[in-house]
């Protein structure tokens, strides 16, 4: 099962809205096939693992390990339980039950009805943690929310605007930390900022320092203040703009009118569009809105060995970190709203 989780992790950022799944097939204590779900619409992990078994006659005497319950419904691909049945695999070991109502125990029940031995809950906590985005999306009916910011040693996230030379961004974190952020962007469905950050910094919000897909960009702009010449308006990457006014959308620059304009309505819209996770890189006001309303699941905070003495104070965030890491002199603290101590 540990191997399943390692394989599943390889799909982070490319399988949305599907979960992260790895599968391993074992015959007489030897792995004879394995695979992972690589992209939505592509073969599921179980399919790849079975296809990688050279001698298919061994499948009827093997055990299939998979970190998430095999699917039992028709989606973009046929049900995995049908393939398992067709090869008469007698034993299946499962990590997590699938929270998706289309599956939700039906896969295991179907396998058991066909006479398969099914063992459930192996490394269940680790398997749930790996798919925490998928679980949050289906159980809480909203995207998984990650907050991210960098602050100085004396607790500031940016200089005061009048002391800042435009349009150059004032970097608090170091180059390695910024590269890590671009890696994170490639792993999440969407990236969100407030309009004030857009006006101050005119950011690209891409993964230009990491090989991986660009996230969908989301801008909270209630009074429609996004400059027409902003990079997010001029480039080819898709962007959602949430506001209170009805505006005409053009190409992949989509304007969404919300009444009332609330974070809950923003997340409800994102849920309806299968946006499974959002990395929030906004400024103080945007970040504190998410924190105050309890709409966050994970926070990643860089502490740099720089001082500003004055500026925009970091968000008020009075929680104990779960993880701490040093990246080229910066200290990265990670917080989980839900308790995962036994896993991490």
pLDDT of residue 164: 52
Q: Work out the pLDDT band at 302, boundaries 50, 70, 90.
A: very high
Q: Work out the pLDDT band at 162, boundaries 50, 70, 90.
A: low
pLDDT of residue 247: 87
pLDDT of residue 251: 93
pLDDT(254) > 90: yes
CA angle 296, 344, 37 (to 5 degrees): 80
Q: What pTM does this model have?
A: 0.92
pLDDT tens digits, one per residue of 209-231: 999 899 999 999 999 999 999 99
- Between the alpha carbon of residue 234 and those of residues 198, 224, 229, 241, the distances in Å are 13, 16, 7, 14
Instruction: Give CATH superfamily name and number for 143-336.
Output: Dihydrofolate Reductase, subunit A (3.40.430.10)
Nearest one of 82, 181, 69 to 122, comparing CA atoms: 69
With b meaning 16 or more CB within 10 Å and e meaning fewer, what string describes 227-263? eeebbbeebeeebbbbbeeeeeeeeebbbbebeebeb
The DSSP element (H or E) to which 25 belongs, if any, is strand 22-27
- Between the alpha carbon of residue 84 and those of residues 4, 118, 216, the distances in Å are 17, 12, 36
Total count of residues recorded for the chain:
344
Mean of the per-residue pLDDT values of the chain: 93
Residue found by looking up tokens 């179907």 in the block: 110
Direct distance between the N- and C-terminal alpha carbons of the chain, in angstroms, rounded to an integer: 17
Q: Where are the domains of the chain?
A: 2-135, 143-336
pLDDT tens digits, one per residue of 106-142: 999 999 999 999 999 999 999 999 999 999 999 999 9
pLDDT of residue 217: 98
- Give every CB contact of residue 255 below 8 A, 6+ residues apart in sequence: 241, 243, 246, 247, 248, 249
For residue 91, what are the β-bridge partners?
A: 63, 117
Q: Work out the pLDDT band at 95, boundaries 50, 70, 90.
A: very high
pLDDT of residue 305: 93
46 belongs to the catalytic site: yes
80 touches 44 (CB < 8 A): yes
pLDDT of residue 78: 82
Q: C-alpha dihedral over 233, 238, 240, 245, to 10 degrees?
A: 50
Q: Work out the pLDDT band at 165, boundaries 50, 70, 90.
A: low
Residue from 46, 126, 151, 298 carrying the catalytic annotation:
46
Q: Work out the pLDDT band at 300, boundaries 50, 70, 90.
A: very high
pLDDT of residue 208: 93
**Tokens describing residue 35:** 């695979």
The DSSP element (H or E) to which 108 belongs, if any, is helix 106-113
Which of the two residues, 172 and 72, has the higher pLDDT score? 172
pLDDT(340) > 80: no
pLDDT tens digits, one per residue of 314-331: 999 999 999 999 999 999
pLDDT of residue 167: 52
Q: What is the mean pLDDT of residues 299-322?
A: 94
pLDDT of residue 244: 95
pLDDT(342) > 60: no
CATH topology for the 2-135 domain: Cytidine Deaminase; domain 2 (3.40.140)
**Tokens describing residue 12:** 């982070």
Q: What is the DSSP string of 120-169?
A: --TTHHHHHHHTHHHHHHHHHSS-EEEEEEEE-TTSEEE--GGGSPTTS-
pLDDT of residue 322: 93
DSSP code for 188: S
pLDDT of residue 101: 84
- Give every CB contact of residue 42 below 8 A, 6+ residues apart in sequence: 77
276 touches 137 (CB < 8 A): yes
pLDDT of residue 91: 97
As a whole-number percent, the residues of the chain with pLDDT over 70 amount to: 95
CA 187 distance to own-chain centroid: 6
Q: What is the mean pLDDT of residues 39-67?
A: 96
With b meaning 16 or more CB within 10 Å and e meaning fewer, what string describes 188-204? bbbbbbbbbbbebbebe
């Amino acid at each position: 099962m540990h191997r399943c989780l390692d394989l599943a992790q390889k799909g982070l950022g490319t399988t949305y809205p599907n979960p992260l799944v790895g599968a391993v097939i074992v015959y007489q204590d030897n792995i004879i096939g394995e695979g992972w779900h690589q992209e939505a619409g592509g073969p599921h992990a179980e399919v790849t693992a079975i296809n990688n078994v050279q001698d298919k006659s061994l499948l009827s005497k093997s055990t299939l390990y998979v970190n998430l319950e095999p699917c039992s419904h028709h989606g973009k691909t046929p049900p995995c339980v049908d393939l398992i049945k067709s090869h008469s695999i007698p034993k299946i070991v499962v990590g997590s039950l699938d929270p998706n109502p289309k599956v939700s125990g039906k896969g295991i029940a179907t396998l058991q009805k066909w006479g398969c031995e099914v063992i459930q809950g192996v490394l269940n906590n680790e398997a749930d943690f790996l798919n925490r985005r998928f679980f949050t999306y289906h159980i809480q009916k909203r995207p998984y929310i990650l907050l991210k910011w960098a602050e100085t040693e004396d607790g500031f996230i940016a200089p005061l605007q009048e002391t800042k030379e435009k349009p150059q961004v004032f970097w608090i974190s170091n180059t390695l930390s910024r590269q890590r952020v671009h890696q994170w962007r490639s792993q999440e469905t969407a990236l969100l900022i407030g309009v004030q950050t857009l006006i101050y910094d005119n950011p690209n919000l891409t993964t230009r320092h990491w090989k991986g897909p660009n996230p969908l960009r989301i801008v909270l702009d209630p009074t429609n203040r996004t400059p027409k010449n902003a990079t997010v308006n001029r480039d080819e990457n898709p962007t959602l703009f949430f506001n209170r006014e009805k505006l005409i959308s053009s190409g992949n620059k989509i304007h969404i009118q919300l009444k009332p304009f609330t974070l809950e309505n923003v997340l409800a819209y994102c849920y309806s569009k299968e946006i499974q996770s959002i990395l929030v890189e906004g400024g103080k006001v945007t970040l504190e809105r998410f924190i105050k309303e309890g709409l966050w699941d994970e926070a990643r905070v860089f502490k740099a060995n720089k001082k500003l003495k004055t500026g925009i104070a970091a968000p008020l965030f009075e929680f104990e970190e779960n993880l701490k890491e040093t990246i080229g002199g910066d200290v990265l603290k990670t917080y989980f709203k839900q308790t995962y101590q036994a896993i991490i």
